Amino acid sequence: MLRLSIVIPTFNESQNVQKLLRSLEATLGSTGWEVLFVDDDSPDGTAILVRDIAQRDPRVRCLHRIGRRGLSSACIEGMLATAAPIIAVMDGDLQHDETALPKMLAEIEKGADMVIGSRYAPGGSTGDWDKSRQAISQLGTVTGRAILRQPVSDPMSGFFMLRRKLLDATVRDLSGVGFKILLDILLTARHMSICITEVPYHFRGRFAGESKLDEMVVWEYGILLADKLIGRFVPVRFLTFSIIGGVGVLVHMAVLTAVLKGLGFGFATAQSVAAGAAMILNFTLNNILTYRDRRLKRWAWLKGLFSFMVACSIGAVANVGISTYLFENRTQWMLAALAGVLVGAFWNYAATQFYTWGNAK
């Protein structure tokens, strides 16, 4: 009988797979378990290796995602792809101590809905991290604890176990952005009465390969919190898209002034150069910030830039058309302009979401 599924998100972890499987085998033995790797098309062939092993061992499975990135969304899709009544999430680089799994399972059997592998509970530790990593982790931990209702020592943990029931109750409201899948679940379950317990563990050094966390984790963490707070009212992607649009307007004005006044070109030329510069900047920022999970690279980047510029030009025509129509029909000039800007912004967002970054949520 399948009791426990261990979902492991991977990106370039091929050198860790075999050792990880041996450790799981050694700790879990004859418990009914499976391990489900969710790989985002790693260039190092992690998925190929996993499938190769899976041919000989049906407890090993692979969910291969293409054109997608993201630790949280990988975990969500992995959890949904298993039939097990109990699910664990664990990193694929041996930093999470697999010997904590039987203790976590015992907690679930005693009645817990969620068990968190904690580095900050008595008996746990973070291992050797550099100062900035420690600071980032601490910042996240403190803010995470502050907004949660339950006392949780390590809301940033990527190592936890839960009952399928809890997944089913929360999965439709998860944000799925960034790295913090545990916090996402805990915040979604904030108003439910659930039993959470912790098992301390020592966070080990990475076995092989390198970390995929970069400076962007802070940004993604902010997006997760924003989505949890206001996502019901405004899509957070639309919000970042609009903020970037605002930055684009400032850049437009700066370039316009420089080309018109500084270089002495005519207005039409200066306005075109400014519009072009603003669009390139907006596209670049949106590609990095708004659509990080489906970031375009190389040829796709160039094609994306083209479709973005076409879409935004249509947006600009709509903007001018609508505001002029309203203005000529006795709408106050500011309101007319604002209406044009709003319609243009909605159009740009909708059109580029579809054509440039392909139907993202």
Where do contacts with Mn ion occur on this chain (CB under 5 A)? 91, 93, 95
What is the rounded distance in angstroms from the CA atom of residue 177 to the CA atom of residue 18? Answer: 29
Minimum separation from the CB atom of position 61 to Mn ion (A): 21
Minimum separation from the CB atom of position 49 to Mn ion (A): 18
Indicate the pairing of strand 160-163 with strand 86-89: antiparallel
Is residue 74 at the binding interface for ligand GDD, with CB under 6 A as the rule? yes
Binding region for ligand GDD (CB under 6 A) out of 3-11, 19-27, 298-306, 309-317: 3-11
Is residue 93 at the binding interface for ligand GDD, with CB under 6 A as the rule? yes
CA atoms within 13 A on the CB side of 208: 12
Cβ atoms 51, 62 nearer than 8 A: yes
Tokens 């912790």 belong to 198
Minimum separation from the CB atom of position 91 to ligand GDD (A): 4
CB of 220 or CB of 227, closer to ligand GDD: 220
71 binding partner (options ligand GDD, Mn ion, none; Cβ < 5 to 8 Å by kind): ligand GDD
Among 4, 62, 86, 156, binds ligand GDD (CB under 6 A): 156
Minimum separation from the CB atom of position 94 to ligand GDD (A): 9
Give the x/- contact pattern for ligand GDD in 203-242, rule: CB under 6 A: --------xxx-----------------------------
CB of 66 or CB of 268, closer to ligand GDD: 66
Minimum separation from the CB atom of position 165 to ligand GDD (A): 23
Give the x/- contact pattern for ligand GDD in 160-179, rule: CB under 6 A: -------------------x
Among 6, 17, 49, 71, binds ligand GDD (CB under 6 A): 71
What is the rounded distance in angstroms from the CA atom of residue 19 to the CA atom of residue 9? Answer: 16
Minimum separation from the CB atom of position 214 to Mn ion (A): 13
For residue 257, give the amino acid letter.
T
For residue 152, give the amino acid letter.
V
Rounded to 5 degrees, what are φ and ψ at 354?
-80, -55
Residues of the shown chain interacting with ligand GDD in the complex, contacts defined by CB under 6 A:
9-11, 13, 38-40, 69-71, 74, 91-93, 95, 137, 156, 158, 179, 211-213
